[in-house]
Structure 1
Amino acid sequence: MSVQLDARPVRVEGRSRLAVAGVTVVAALALWALLEPVAGIDLAAKQGSGTVEVGAVSVFFAAAAMAFAGWGLLAILERRTVNARKVWTVTAVIACVLSLGSPLTSGIGAGAKLGLASLHLVVGAAVVLGLRRTALSATERC
């Protein structure tokens, strides 16, 4: 019987952070496709003195940016704190809830407000639930 001591913890298969980012983007684009082209909801928001149409490219980049930002924060917390998973989850949920202020105040019309808020929630749920699963526990890191 041999015991292998590695300096770095081994990640369990199926817990890939890149996959979480991909799923986040696909989920956001799928919801956008249902809201905009299929349901015909005009996802427009006020920005400054004008309006912005939220299209597929915006959804793609925003979802990817949030997934990678969450990944980066989780990686930093794993190196700096013992309770990285717990701290990250609380922080991510608070960020998701606070992000709802933007679509609910800037959306033009009830449909846009609800549609944009649902996009925020889908991205938030995918990032929080997905990346939380990939977080290394304190015992896995030590």
Structure 2
Amino acid sequence: MSALVVASVRTRRTSRAAATGLAAVGAFLVWLVADPLLGVDFDVTRSGTTTVVGPGMVIFMALGAGLVGWVFLALLERFTTQARRVWVITASVVLLLSLVMPFNSGEIATDAKVSLLLMHVVVGAVLIPLYARTASGRSKKDSSTTIV
């Protein structure tokens, strides 16, 4: 690999890692405003089991979404010349589908549903454009080098 390609890979990795961290921080900030400051109750009861959506879960889920998106984009870059376009469309559809989750998560207060929706939107609003910005414009024949 040439020095330029190595630098490009490092920059891409650093940018994606920063985007993933930023998405997690954004989701955590929504939780921070909603739970401790506004008193939103994030207790979700489903089938008699109560789960508390706390800061650890919020950060873990946002980081998980970021890492899954990162892997998906890396695979797209390896196997298609339209990685950026496919990423934006697919990630946007996944975001829209994820907005159903707070309404299908069991017994939960309306203010908590709104806060969870906002967390989903924040994570998507960070990851979709920032990952798209880092998507390589390589041609399919150049895919012999792995970009992650």
Q: TM-score normalised to the size of structure 2?
A: 0.82
Unaligned runs of 5+ residues in structure 2 are 143-148
User: CA deviation digits over 1:53-75, x for unaligned, max 9?
Assistant: 10000001000000010000000
| Structure 1 position 7, deviation (Å) | 8.7
Provide the rounded CA distance (Å) in 2 between the counterparts of 1:7 and 1:88: 24
Residue pair 1:104, 1:114 contacting (<8 A) in 2 also: no
- Name the amino acid aligned to 1:71: W
The alignment covers a number of residue pairs equal to 138
CA RMSD of aligned residues (A): 2.5
Partner of 1:11: 8
Q: Deviations over 1:100-130 (max 9, x none)?
A: 1110232512101111111111111111121
**CA distance, structure 1, for counterparts of residue 47 and residue 101 of structure 2:** 13
User: Which residue of 1 is the match for residue 110 of structure 2?
Assistant: 110
TM-score (norm 1): 0.85
What residue in structure 1 maps to residue 90 of structure 2? 91
Counterpart AA for 1:11: S
Give the corresponding residue for 2:137: 137
Q: Offset of 1:24 from its aligned partner?
A: 0.9
After the TM superposition, list the runs of 4 or more consecutive aligned residues in structure 1 that deviate by more than 6 angstroms: none
Q: Is the 8 A contact 1:45 1:112 kept in 2?
A: no
Give a deviation string over 1:71-115, Cα, whole Å, max 9, x none.
000000000001000001111000011011110232512101111
Identical-pair percentage: 35
For residues 23 and 126 of structure 1, what CA distance do their matches in structure 2 show?
A: 7
The one-letter amino acid paired with 1:128 is I
Higher mean C-alpha deviation, range 129-138 or range 58-67: 129-138
